[in-house]
């Protein structure tokens, strides 16, 4: 039986991948230390996701371990080295703001943790597909140099389909988080080229879904939904609230992972997102959620954007769709917003 090892298995993407691969008949192993509780407090805690997985996925097995601890990684791989056929590395410290406060911790989790997982895979399961959940923040703020049209409620690129893999990585401000994820992204590529491993970097935009434990420091759309539902105040940082992000449901990320596993490549890189059709600005999201919930949102404006933040970002997924024509975005923006607003987001 094929076995998938998912790091960050209780998180949004990790739990979606566990459920999806189980539905394909795979054995599922999880690896998580539930550090989001430390990063973001109770809002960001994913323990409820982990508990649900045991009910949803028979024989699911989650190990409590830290990817930044090489011994934890080695222990898990030594126990299952003969069965692991795919590694989905979704564990991360995902916040710009937290990384600025704790740069060494961010490096250990995002860069060193990725190195540990690559090395363990190379030593014990070298034929396994290695899928890394990278980020569009590897491009830093270089996308901000593109010509933008300013509309009433948003910025957009005009004729450009979105950001492709041709966007440069250097000569831009990344934030500490973006720099450490870029280091990990390049390591994943080099392990493919140097050792012939089947690796892919999915440079993802905003990933979301009903299992997203959104907090103020991470998970814009899920946290915004929490605020409007619960009557919490919300702060908008810079760009007049017209900054735009495309949204991709975690289930569609899991589909992309299984598509890659069906025909893995060496040192592949793909931008992954919902594209223009699933793009939304902060102002637009507030209006949508007020309409869906029937509640008015209390929000304030901070006239300073977060460092390295994008003014506008939506993804050109042409390269991935050409290589994997079986993949498409199955969850549109409206269904995502309804799921976030009308269902209880786990605490």
Look at residue 343 in the predicted model and tell me its pLDDT: 55
Look at residue 285 in the predicted model and tell me its pLDDT: 96
Is 30 in contact with 62 (CB distance < 8 Å)?
Answer: yes
Question: Crossing angle of helices 220-230/282-293, nearest 10°?
Answer: 40
CA distance 98 to 21: 31
Could you report the per-residue pLDDT of 217-269, keeping only the tens digit for each? 677 899 999 899 889 999 999 999 999 999 999 999 999 999 999 999 999 99
Q: How far apart are the first and last CA of the chain?
A: 34
Question: Crossing angle of helices 333-342/282-293, nearest 10°?
Answer: 60
CA angle 315, 193, 128 (to 5 degrees): 80
Look at residue 216 in the predicted model and tell me its pLDDT: 77
Could you report the per-residue pLDDT of 143-158, keeping only the tens digit for each? 999 999 999 999 999 8
Question: What mean pLDDT is predicted for residues 305-313?
Answer: 86
Look at residue 346 in the predicted model and tell me its pLDDT: 44
Going by the DSSP 8-state scheme, the letter that residue 143 receives in this structure is G
Could you report the per-residue pLDDT of 37-57, keeping only the tens digit for each? 777 777 767 788 888 898 999
Could you report the per-residue pLDDT of 160-198, keeping only the tens digit for each? 999 999 999 999 999 999 999 999 999 999 999 999 999
Please return the burial class of 262, using the count of CB atoms within 10 Å of its CB with bins 0-12, 13-18 and 19+. exposed
User: Does the pLDDT of residue 316 top 50, yes or no?
Assistant: yes
CA distance 215 to 226: 9
Q: What is the DSSP string of 60-124?
A: -EEEE--TT-HHHHHHHHHHHTTTEEEEEE------HHHHHH-HHHHHIIIIIHHHHHHHHHHHH
The pLDDT mean for the chain works out to 93
Residues for the chain: how many in total?
Answer: 347
User: Does the pLDDT of residue 96 top 90, yes or no?
Assistant: no
Q: How many CB atoms sit inside 10 A of residue 241's CB? A: 17
Q: How many CB atoms sit inside 10 A of residue 151's CB? A: 11
Is 15 in contact with 90 (CB distance < 8 Å)?
Answer: no
Could you report the per-residue pLDDT of 164-174, keeping only the tens digit for each? 999 999 999 99
pTM of the model: 0.95
CA distance 112 to 180: 9
Q: What is the largest CA-CA distance in the chain?
A: 57
Give me 112's structure tokens.
């060193």
**Confidence bin at 304 (pLDDT 50/70/90):** confident
Domains and CATH numbers, the chain: 3-342 (3.40.50.720)
């Amino acid at each position: 039986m094929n076995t998938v090892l998912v790091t960050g298995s209780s998180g949004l993407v990790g739990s979606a991948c566990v459920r999806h691969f189980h539905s394909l008949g795979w054995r599922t192993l999880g690896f998580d230390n539930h550090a989001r509780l430390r990063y973001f407090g109770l809002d960001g805690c994913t323990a409820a996701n982990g508990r649900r997985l045991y009910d949803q996925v028979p024989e699911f097995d989650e190990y409590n371990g830290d990817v930044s601890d090489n011994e934890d990684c080695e222990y898990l791989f030594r126990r299952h080295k003969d069965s692991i056929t795919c590694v989905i590395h979704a564990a991360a410290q995902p916040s710009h703001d937290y990384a600025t406060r704790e740069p060494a911790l961010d490096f250990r989790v995002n860069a060193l943790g990725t190195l540990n997982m690559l090395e363990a895979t190379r030593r014990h399961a070298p034929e396994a597909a290695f899928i890394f959940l990278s980020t569009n923040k590897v491009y830093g703020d270089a996308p901000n140099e593109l010509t933008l049209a300013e509309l009433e409620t948003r910025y957009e690129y005009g004729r450009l389909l979105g950001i492709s893999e041709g966007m440069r990585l250097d000569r831009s401000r990344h934030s500490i988080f973006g720099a450490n994820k870029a280091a990990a992204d390049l390591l994943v590529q080099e392990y493919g080229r140097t050792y012939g491993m089947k690796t892919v970097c999915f440079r993802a935009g905003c990933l979301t879904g009903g299992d997203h434990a959104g907090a103020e420091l991470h998970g814009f759309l899920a946290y915004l939904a929490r605020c409007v539902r619960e009557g919490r105040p919300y702060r908008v940082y810079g760009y007049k609230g017209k900054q735009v992000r495309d949204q991709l449901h975690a289930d569609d990320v899991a589909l992309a992972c299984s598509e890659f596993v069906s025909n893995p490549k060496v040192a592949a890189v793909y931008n992954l997102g919902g594209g223009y059709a699933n793009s939304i600005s902060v102002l637009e999201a507030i209006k949508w959620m007020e309409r869906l919930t029937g509640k008015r949102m209390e929000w304030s404006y901070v006239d300073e954007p977060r460092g390295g933040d994008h003014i506008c970002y939506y993804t050109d997924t042409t390269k991935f769709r050409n290589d994997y024509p079986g993949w498409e975005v199955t969850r549109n923006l409206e269904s995502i917003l309804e799921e976030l607003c009308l269902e209880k987001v786990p605490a």
